[in-house]
Amino acid sequence: MIQMECDILVVGAGVLGLSSAYYLKKGNPEKSVVVVDRLGGPGQGNSAKSEGGYRNLFTSESNYLLADSTIDFMHHMEDDMGHDLKLSEMGYLFLYSEEQYARYRGALKRIEERGSETRIIGKEELKGMIPGLVTDFEGDEEAELLGLEPVDMGVFGAKCGGVDADALVRAYESEFLKAGGETRYGTEVEELIIKPVEELEIPGEPFVWQDVHITGVKTSKGDIEAETTVVATGVWSEKLLDPVGLDSYMRPKKRQIFAFKDSRLSSLLEVKGFNSYGAIPLTILPKAAILFRPEFSEGTFWLACADDLGRAFGLEDEPEAEEDYYTNNVYHVLVKYFPCFEDVRPVNMWAGQYAINSFDSLPVVTGEEGLIYVGAASGSGIMKCDAIGRIVAAKYAGEEGAELYGGRRFKVADLGISERNVERETLII
C-alpha cells in the first residue's frame, strides 16, 4: 500500500533532519520534501534534551569550520531572521591543571592562530574573577583521595555559549515550512525499502546480481516512495540501517543533565570579566568531564557530565537520569572546586543519548543509491547543525563542496567514509 510519494524524504525531525530538510528544500524549490518523525513534534528525540552549549574551540580544523559557521548562522537567525533562539554568548571556560595545560598547549596555540578568540588566564587572575573558586587542595585528604589536581590555568573562549536547542529546531522547522516543505509527525518508519534498479517482476527480487537502491520506507501509516531518503534518526539510526547492511558509524551512550535553582549559587552570577551578563561562563572542571552553565531564561544552572569508561554503549528509548550518579559521584568533585554547591540538590534532571563516533568524533554524511545518512554527531550536533544541513544538501546536489554560512567552503567527501578526510578531535568533553 503506497501512502504517498515525494522527491526527498527526511526521516527524523531532530536538529540535523530539519536543518538538512531546510537546505534541501531551499536548494530545490521544485522538489517535494517531506520530513517524518515517529514522535508528536520536532526535536523530541535528543535535540531538545541537549545542554545547548556551543563552542568554536576544537582541535580539528573541520570541527572548527562546522561549529564556527553554525554559530555565525545562529546569530544571523536571531538578528536578521526574527528567531528568538535565546543565544547567550557567555563563553566557555576550560579549567586546566598544569599537566593538562601542557598537554593541550600546542593545540590551543593553533586554535588561537585561527582567530577563535581565546584568552589564557592564570590561576591568580582566575581566583580574582570567580569568587569562591578553589584552585588548590593542599592538605585536603579527601581531594587527594579523589585525585584532584590544582587548577593552574583557565582557557576562555569568547565565541561560545548557550542556545535554546528546542527554539533552534523550531526555527529550522518554520523556515522549512515557509519554503514549502511538509512535516508528518506520529509516523514511525519501520524499514527502508530496497529494490532492484531494473525490476523484472520475478519473485525473490532483488537477486545478488541486480543493482539495488533505496526507494522509500515502510511506515506505521503506509509506504512512502521517495527518490532520495535521508536518514537522520540520531541514535536510532542503527535500527533502520542495520537491516539493510549499512553502518551508522556511531554507538549510543547515555548522557545526563542536572538542573539547579538555589540562592546559594547566586555568587556565580556575580562574576566579572568574562561576558556581558556578569556571570560565570560555561565552565569545564579539570576532573571527570563535569561542566555547568547558567540558563538565564530559567534562572537555573545546568550541569552535565560525560562519563566514558564504565558507561555502557547501548540504545535506550527512554533513558532516565540517575540522582545517585550526581550525589555519589559528581557532587564530591564539584563541591571541592565550587563549595557554593554544598548541600545543593538538583531540582530537575533528565537524560538522553549521544551518537558517538569514537574513531574521530566528527559527524558523518554518507550514502548512495537513493540514500543519504547524516548522523554520528558525537554530542555536538546542535552547535554544528547549520553546516551539516548545508553539506547534506550539497551531497544531494552532487556538488563537490558546500558553501557554509559566511562563504567558507567545506569538501562534502571529507565527512563521508570512502574519502573521509578529517583530523581526529582531541578537545572532547
Ligand X SMILES: Cc1cc2nc3c(=O)[nH]c(=O)nc-3n(C[C@H](O)[C@H](O)[C@H](O)COP(=O)(O)OP(=O)(O)OC[C@H]3O[C@@H](n4cnc5c(N)ncnc54)[C@H](O)[C@@H]3O)c2cc1C
Task: State which residue, 304 or 412, has the beta carbon closest to ligand X.
Answer: 304
> From the CB of 350, what's the least distance to ligand X, in Å?
7
- Residue pair 372/416 in contact by the 8 Å Cβ criterion: no
Binding span for ligand X by CB under 6 A among 87-95, 151-159, 172-180, 232-240: 232-240
CA 12: distance to chain centroid?
A: 15
Pick from 15, 362, 404, 412 the residue near ligand X by CB under 6 A: 15
Q: Is 234 in the site for ligand X (CB under 6 A)?
A: yes
Binding span for ligand X by CB under 6 A among 50-58, 122-130, 134-142, 417-425: 50-58
Pick from 35, 50, 251, 360 the residue near ligand X by CB under 6 A: 50
Pick from 13, 71, 108, 364 the residue near ligand X by CB under 6 A: 13
Report the site for ligand X in 79-138 (rule: CB under 6 A): none
Task: State which residue, 17 or 101, has the beta carbon closest to ligand X.
Answer: 17
> From the CB of 128, what's the least distance to ligand X, in Å?
28
- Residue pair 251/395 in contact by the 8 Å Cβ criterion: no
The closest of 330, 358, 327 to 345, measured between CA atoms, is: 327
Q: Is 364 in the site for ligand X (CB under 6 A)?
A: no
Report the site for ligand X in 253-292 (rule: CB under 6 A): 255, 257
Task: State which residue, 338 or 373, has the beta carbon closest to ligand X.
Answer: 373
The closest of 391, 128, 406, 370 to 272, measured between CA atoms, is: 128
297 to each of 85, 163, 245, 427, how far by Cα in Å?
11, 11, 45, 28
> From the CB of 187, what's the least distance to ligand X, in Å?
6
Report the site for ligand X in 297-336 (rule: CB under 6 A): 304
> From the CB of 12, what's the least distance to ligand X, in Å?
3
Count each helix (H run) and each strand (E run) in the chain, helices first.
10, 20
Pick from 34, 250, 382, 427 the residue near ligand X by CB under 6 A: 382
Pick from 23, 34, 37, 396 the residue near ligand X by CB under 6 A: 37
63: DSSP letter: H
- Residue pair 187/37 in contact by the 8 Å Cβ criterion: yes
Q: Is 51 in the site for ligand X (CB under 6 A)?
A: yes
> From the CB of 396, what's the least distance to ligand X, in Å?
17
Task: State which residue, 143 or 257, has the beta carbon closest to ligand X.
Answer: 257
Task: State which residue, 152 or 386, has the beta carbon closest to ligand X.
Answer: 386
Pick from 4, 6, 10, 17 the residue near ligand X by CB under 6 A: 17
Burial of 385 (0-12, 13-18, 19+ CB in 10 A): buried
User: Dihedral, CA atoms, 152, 261, 169, 371, nearest 10 degrees?
Assistant: 60
Binding span for ligand X by CB under 6 A among 48-56, 267-275, 308-316, 325-333: 48-56
Pick from 4, 6, 8, 16 the residue near ligand X by CB under 6 A: 16
> From the CB of 363, what's the least distance to ligand X, in Å?
8
The Cα 56–Cα 340 span in angstroms is: 29
Report the site for ligand X in 144-183 (rule: CB under 6 A): none
Q: What cell was used for 402? A: 558546500
Q: Is the dihedral of CA 186, 364, 53, 387 positive or negative?
A: negative
The closest of 317, 314, 333 to 325, measured between CA atoms, is: 333
- Residue pair 297/85 in contact by the 8 Å Cβ criterion: no
Q: Which residues contact 280 (CB under 8 A, 6 or more apart)?
A: 90, 93, 130, 268, 269, 271, 274, 293, 294
Residues that bind ligand X (CB under 6 A): 11-17, 36-39, 44-47, 49-53, 188-189, 232-234, 236, 240, 255, 257, 304, 352-354, 375, 377, 379-383
